[in-house]
């Protein structure tokens, strides 16, 4: 039986924005074990060369230092050794985003792809992860929020956790600091929201509204078999917005004005934006975290993985995120139509819509959407915005041509059955095939 890899991450110097990460491998490759930092973060389609954040790295074997050679931009190989091998890396964490790592004297956050190197050739081995506390002088009152399964860590406490393999290891973002926790239950599944960056907001209302929203989505596609907990990680800033999906959690960022104050009863534009963000990332539980393009099964995190299907996974999700705000009763139909009108206007004002279809936009995400320049508005279109309108058109066409017997809902339910529940990657023409099969339309 293979011994689990032992990972440890410690906020070693918050003032200098440094995490210390160690990885111990009991059975290293006898020819010399290699370790690799991903080039990109799943869900964010840009090569970011995450190894650039490594400011120091060394290796030891049974307490004695061994040589460590860098073989390419993101890979290091240790000299052969028979005893357990440990590498120690210092990671500079100063990217305040949902897809990076950030550490200072007020909090810490990291996406696992940024801080945890893989053990090359042993990525399917179980990992035990020790999330260590910062120096007492900095984080004496800090707590930890993550969707990792705990081993000896109490709720929201530092300690050890366990994950099935490396892919799961980097699918659990971690927030640490003076965190405010709100807990609720959806379809018998424990849910929570962990907020860093306190403000005068109504946590009870947020939990109530998220319960309605999540319940509506679970009623639609059903409960994934492995979904036994879910965590919204929220960083509240003076100005900020963003989200990144994970299999059991999501990393979110919003502005203080986006959250409801105690005593507020209406869903204003700012709170609607926040709820739409939550809806979008939660819908990804099904659409892209479990229903995936064949090119992402498994991910190749060393280089770009091109697919023309990002409009399916982001555009259709963008269509349903606002739709579920209405279906759950959080916003009115008039509010939904207002949001739809804004999307139509945004696309209509983009000359690039004549240059790129949504499949081309998806394929070129790595070099166009994520690398905008002065001519982007003329040369490209967002597969999020235009993709959501394609989803709307597809939904309306199916409803019209089948006299209301079928809709995009039926297509998505069958897509979930074929590719989500099975774990099989969706081929490039998979959605069209399912749509024809379900509706009988060409």
Band (pLDDT 50/70/90 cuts) for residue 2 is: confident
CA distance 227 to 189: 8
Band (pLDDT 50/70/90 cuts) for residue 213 is: very high
**What does the DSSP 8-state code read for residue 405?**
S
Phi, psi of 377 (to 5 degrees): -60, -25
Domains 179-278 and 286-442 share a fold: yes
* Nearest-10 Cα torsion for 202, 204, 209, 215: 160
**Structure-model confidence comparison of residues 316 and 83, the more confident one:** 316
Domain covering 179-278: architecture: Orthogonal Bundle (1.10)
Tokens matching residue 114: 């940024």
Is residue 137 over pLDDT 90? no
CA distance 436 to 409: 14
Query: Which of 145, 125, 135 shows the shortest CA–CA distance to 194?
Result: 145
Band (pLDDT 50/70/90 cuts) for residue 68 is: very high
Whether the upstream peptide bond of residue 298 has omega within 30° of 0, thus cis, is yes
Phi, psi of 269 (to 5 degrees): -60, -35
Average pLDDT over every residue of 31-50? 98
Which pLDDT value is given to residue 14?
97
Domain 5-176 -> CATH class:
mainly beta
Is residue 439 over pLDDT 80? yes
Please report the sign of the dihedral spanned by the C-alpha atoms of residue 86, residue 247, residue 244, residue 307: positive
| Burial (Cβ within 10 Å: 0-12, 13-18, ≥19) of residue 113 | buried
Which pLDDT value is given to residue 346?
98
> What percent of the chain has a predicted confidence (pLDDT) above 70?
100
Task: Report the alpha-carbon angle 212-213-215, nearest 5.
Answer: 65
CA distance 164 to 404: 44
Band (pLDDT 50/70/90 cuts) for residue 31 is: very high
CATH 1.10.390.10 fits 286-442, yes or no: yes
Strand order of the β-sheet with 242-245 is: 180-186, 189-196, 230-237, 249-255, 242-245
Is residue 209 over pLDDT 90? yes
Model confidence over 138-179: pLDDT tens digits? 878 999 999 999 999 999 999 999 999 999 999 999 999 999
Which pLDDT value is given to residue 93?
99
CA distance 390 to 377: 19
Tokens matching residue 327: 């279906």
Band (pLDDT 50/70/90 cuts) for residue 83 is: confident
- Distance, C-alpha 95 to centroid of its chain: 16
> What percent of the chain has a predicted confidence (pLDDT) above 90?
96
**Bridge-based pairing state of the strands 159-163 and 101-103:** unpaired
Tokens matching residue 311: 């409009």
CA distance 194 to 153: 17
Query: Which of 122, 124, 128 shows the shortest CA–CA distance to 162?
Result: 128
Angle, helix 269-283 to helix 203-221, in steps of 10 degrees: 40
Average pLDDT over every residue of 18-31? 98
Model confidence over 47-61: pLDDT tens digits? 999 999 999 999 999
Looking at every residue in the chain, the average pLDDT score rounds to 97
Is residue 332 over pLDDT 90? yes
Phi, psi of 180 (to 5 degrees): -100, 130
CB 274, CB 260: distance < 8 Å = no
How is the chain split into domains, by residue range?
Answer: 5-176, 179-278, 286-442
* Cβ neighbours for 203, distance < 8 A, ≥ 6 positions apart: 180, 182, 193, 195
Model confidence over 184-202: pLDDT tens digits? 999 999 999 999 997 889 9
Average pLDDT over every residue of 269-289? 99
Which pLDDT value is given to residue 92?
99
CB atoms within 10 A of CB 127: 25
Is residue 1 over pLDDT 80? no
CB 328, CB 213: distance < 8 Å = yes
Average pLDDT over every residue of 80-109? 97
CA distance 13 to 324: 43
Query: Which of 32, 209, 43, 47 shows the shortest CA–CA distance to 120?
Result: 32
CA distance 185 to 207: 9
């Amino acid at each position: 039986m293979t011994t689990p890899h032992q990972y440890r991450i410690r906020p070693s110097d918050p003032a200098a924005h440094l995490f210390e990460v160690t990885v111990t491998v009991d059975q290293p490759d006898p020819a010399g074990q290699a370790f690799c930092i991903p080039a990109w973060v799943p869900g964010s389609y840009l090569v970011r060369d995450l190894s650039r954040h490594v400011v120091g790295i060394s290796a030891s074997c049974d307490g004695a230092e061994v040589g460590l050679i860098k073989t390419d931009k993101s890979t290091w190989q240790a000299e052969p050794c028979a005893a357990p091998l440990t590498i120690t890396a210092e990671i500079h964490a100063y990217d305040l985003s949902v897809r990076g790592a950030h550490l200072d004297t007020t909090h810490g956050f990291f996406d696992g792809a940024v801080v945890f190197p893989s053990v090359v050739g042993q990525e399917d081995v179980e990992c035990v992860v020790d999330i260590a506390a910062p120096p007492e002088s900095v984080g004496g009152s800090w707590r930890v929020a993550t969707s990792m399964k705990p081993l000896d860590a109490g709720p929201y406490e530092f300690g050890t956790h366990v994950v099935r393999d490396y892919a799961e290891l980097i699918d659990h973002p971690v927030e640490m600091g003076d965190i405010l926790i709100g807990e609720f239950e959806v379809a018998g599944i424990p849910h929570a929201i962990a907020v860093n960056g306190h403000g005068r907001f109504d946590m009870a209302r947020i939990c109530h509204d998220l319960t309605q929203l999540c319940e509506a989505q679970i009623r639609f596609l059903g409960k994934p078999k492995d979904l036994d907990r879910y965590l919204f990680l929220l960083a509240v800033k003076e100005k900020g917005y963003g989200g990144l999906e994970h299999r059991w959690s999501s990393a979110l960022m919003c502005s203080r004005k986006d959250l409801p104050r105690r005593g507020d009863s209406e869903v204003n534009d700012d709170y609607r934006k926040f709820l739409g963000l939550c809806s979008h990332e939660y819908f990804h539980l099904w659409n892209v975290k479990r229903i995936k393009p064949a090119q992402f099964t498994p991910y190749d995190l060393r280089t770009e993985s091109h697919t023309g299907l990002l409009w399916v996974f982001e555009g259709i999700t963008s269509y349903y995120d606002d739709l579920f705000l209405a279906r759950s009763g959080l916003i009115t139909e008039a509010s939904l139509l207002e949001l739809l009108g804004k999307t139509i206007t945004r696309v209509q004002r983009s000359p690039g819509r004549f240059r790129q279809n949504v499949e081309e936009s998806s394929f070129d995400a790595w070099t166009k959407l994520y690398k905008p320049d002065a001519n982007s508005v003329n040369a490209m279109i967002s597969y999020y915005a235009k993709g959501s309108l394609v989803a709307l058109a597809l939904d309306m066409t199916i409803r019209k041509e089948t006299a209301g017997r079928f809709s995009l809902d039926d297509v998505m339910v069958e897509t979930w059955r074929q590719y989500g529940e099975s774990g099989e990657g969706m081929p490039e023409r998979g959605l069209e095939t399912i749509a024809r099969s379900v509706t009988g339309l060409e």
